[in-house]
Amino acid sequence: MKNFPPVVKNLLIINCLVFFAEWILPQTALKFPLEGWMALYYAGSPLFRLWQLFTYMFAHAGFDHLFFNMFALWMFGRILENVWGSRRFLLYYMVCGFGAGLTQELLQFVGVIPQMQSVVGASGAVYGLLLAFAMLFPNMPMYIIPIPVPIKAKWMVIGYTVIELLEGIFNFGNVAHFAHLGGMVFGLALILYWRKNNKDTNGWNYR
């Protein structure tokens, strides 16, 4: 198995380059921080642009935000890309990221969740990867710090889903929890579509 299949490798590079550019470019160079151009703003904001539904997933709020998302992308994404192939993996990743942003926008629009100034990060796409990994390898043992015993991938994802839902309901922290869930929902819809249309020939018998 390749450690760095091409799509995962290039996604890692792009995200890191964007973060580096955010760090070194002075605000005066663009009259606005780079993150401000790429972040996803609420549709009612004068700063909202349609392209932000895609660009927001390549900008991050800080090094820890970038690190954990990229670690998860490397950990789960390389396995999925090797199973699915690069084209399908890239489509899945982008659909999850777009779906996460769209979910955030829609729920803000109808008033289900408070309006956030802006949203950045690959977390919605990454949560979609977690879901796909658990569907392909439901019984794969996973270790989560500080839990001293392995947990099957399916239970790990169910646990993360419940936590995100509760934190979203109670508006815990300045985090777009429902965007994470949206990435999972869009990922699930795409996987079910592939299965229904017999486009799931690569890897669905893996456990």
Q: Is the pLDDT of residue 106 over 60?
A: yes
- The per-residue pLDDT for range 42-98, each reduced to its tens digit, is 998 888 999 999 999 999 988 999 999 999 999 999 999 999 999 999 999 999 999
Write down the CATH number for the domain with range 6-196.
1.20.1540.10
The DSSP-derived string for the chain is --SS-HHHHHHHHHHHHHHHHHHHS-HHHHTS-HHHHHSEE-TTSTT--TTHHHHGGG--SSHHHHHHHHHHIIIIIHHHHHHH-HHHHHHHHHHHHHHHHHHHHHHHHTTSSPPPSEE--SHHHHHHHHHHHHHHSTT-EE--TT-SS-EEHHHHHHHHHHHHHHHHHTT-SS--HHHHHHHHHHHHHHHHHHHHTT--TTTTT--
- The per-residue pLDDT for range 163-189, each reduced to its tens digit, is 999 998 888 778 899 999 999 999 999
Domain boundaries, the chain: 6-196
Global pTM reads 0.89
